[in-house]
Amino acid sequence: MDDSDTATVELSKSEAREVVNALSSYRTRQTGRDERRAMNVEEFLQREFDFKREDTGLTGDIGEEFASFLDGDDADEHEVQLSRTEAEEAVAALSEHESESSTDAETVREVRRRFEEAFDLDARSEN
């Protein structure tokens, strides 16, 4: 698969929430193109799954933390289409988030594996 190719991954709302949380944390440690790509994927998923962001009173990007969600079934699944490079950012963020996850590391691991399979990233994965 070429870096400009796209593929789709099916995510539930709760899984997308984990990806957004992972990307939000990950991008604060990135700079340049990687930071921008992570932010783009994060914002895309927020729009795709109708997530709301509320200002927490802090300043900057961290101040607009992922705070609440619109009504809807967390089990509803949506297909999301990303480029290979966007998927690589999501996998990197999920890999870091997996060990830090206070909610469900198994869910994070499963979502990361689905991204790796859909985008043929297994060979390049560090985990």
Instruction: Give per-residue pLDDT as tens, 12-33.
Output: 998 998 999 999 999 888 888 8
The rounded distance, in Å, linking the Cα atoms of 94 and 100 is 10
Six-digit token pair at 85?
């490079």
Segments of the chain with pLDDT less than 70: 1-4, 53-75, 101-103, 122-127
The rounded distance, in Å, linking the Cα atoms of 113 and 105 is 12
Look up the pTM and report it. Answer: 0.76
- Residue 29: the pLDDT is 86
- Residue 60: the pLDDT is 43
